[in-house]
Amino acid sequence: MLATATPLLRRFWYPVMPVAHLAEGPKPFRLLGQDLVIWLDGDGNPAAMDDRCCHRTARLSKGFYASGRLACGYHGWEFAADGRVMRVPQRPVDRQGATNMRVPAYRAALRYGHVWVALEDPLHPLPDFEEEGLGFRRIDEFHEVWNCAGLRLMENSFDNAHFAFVHRASFGDQGHPEPAKLEIEEHADGFMMITEVPVRNPEIQKKVLNMDSDTTIRHMRGRWYAPFLRKLRIVYPNGLSHSIVTCATPIDDGSSMVVQFVFRNDTEEQAKAADVVAFDRIVTNEDRDILESTDPDVPLDQTGIEMNMPSDRPGVLMRRMLAQMIAAEAKVPQPA
């Protein structure tokens, strides 16, 4: 599966950037190979449109905010969030007002401090994370480009067999290379994987876990939301809950915007946000190094192009479910 060759992927919500990035002006974002401008209207609501002015093709991401609208940086045409041209400053005063000209606009939403965009009618709503309702604090961690396909990162997130090797320098325990047992519940939009994994508890992790033991157990509930979003809730024996939300938003076939934030049930006094980020930084860099060496084209059929082992079950299931979603979409009559 190559992301830009898979139209179904246009029908999901993806986080594109923290909303704070838009305070000063519009920003460009490439989603599934399509260049967008992301911006905030006068009420602070996010908007997403093609990054190409309908006058002389200038990039609208080079524009600026004007009275709650987006003004093109070239001749100042002003756009509403639905893409309509609302003002052409060069027209005489008595001919000002909304026009019939527009650029294509897309769905945009603000949730969890990030702007989310769906290019076409979303198959599923934005996920409701239980941690928000429980009042857990949110720590924003990463917003950065990785040169790998989103599906590789998703599979890796549910692959207990890599800890002992990829994370051998951090928490991986090479004394336990055999993967932990796991249970999987399928949902319409993905699955839940429940497992327990014994891990080392290195010095840098001891302070973010508030735990002195040299080893610990991770009780993990990993939720995959097709295609490229997961939330992994890890509960430690001392009651600490650390939920990692990661999305590999597809920029194009070979690169993803990795958006990651965590929810925790502790306080800044118990664990500094900077220390939490520092530990997850080490772990994610270990994943990144190996994932950027993988092939961007992920075969969905199991025809022996890639070999499997029993612990690959979650990744194999992802491939099967995505193949089914693509097949179901192909059967739906498309508007003429």
Binding stretches for ligand FES (CB under 6 A): 53, 55-56, 58, 72, 74-75, 77
Round to whole Å and give the CA distance between 55 and 197. 57
Considering the complex, what minimum distance in angstroms separates the CB of residue 311 from Fe ion? 13
Amino acid identity, position 162: H
Within residues 285-324, the interface with Fe ion by CB under 5 A covers: 287
Q: Which is nearer to ligand FES, 53 or 193 (CB)?
A: 53
Q: In this structure, what are the phi and psi dihedrals at residue 224, rounded to the nearest 5 degrees?
A: -100, 125
Partner interacting with residue 281 (select from Fe ion, ligand FES, none; CB below 5-8 Å by kind): none
Considering the complex, what minimum distance in angstroms separates the CB of residue 107 from ligand FES? 23
Q: Per rule CB under 5 A, is residue 266 in the interface with Fe ion?
A: no
The separation between CA 234 and the C-alpha centre of its own chain, rounded to angstroms, equals 19
Residue 237 CB coordination number (10 Å): 12
Partner interacting with residue 287 (select from Fe ion, ligand FES, none; CB below 5-8 Å by kind): Fe ion
Q: Which is nearer to ligand FES, 53 or 318 (CB)?
A: 53
> Which ranges of the chain does DSSP label H, i.e. alpha helix?
130-133, 150-157, 163-166, 203-209, 273-291, 313-331
Q: Per rule CB under 5 A, is residue 51 in the interface with Fe ion?
A: no
Helix (H, G, I), strand (E, B) or coil at 150: helix
Q: Which is nearer to Fe ion, 78 or 286 (CB)?
A: 286
Written in H, E and C, the secondary structure of 258-286 is EEEEEEECCCCCCCCHHHHHHHHHHHHHH
Q: Which residue is nearest to Fe ion (CB)?
A: 287
**Which one of 29-37, 218-226, 271-279, 283-291 is the stretch in contact with Fe ion (CB under 5 A)?**
283-291
Q: Which two tokens stand for residue 60?
A: 């609208």
Partner interacting with residue 58 (select from Fe ion, ligand FES, none; CB below 5-8 Å by kind): ligand FES
* Residues of the shown chain interacting with Fe ion in the complex, contacts defined by CB under 5 A: 287
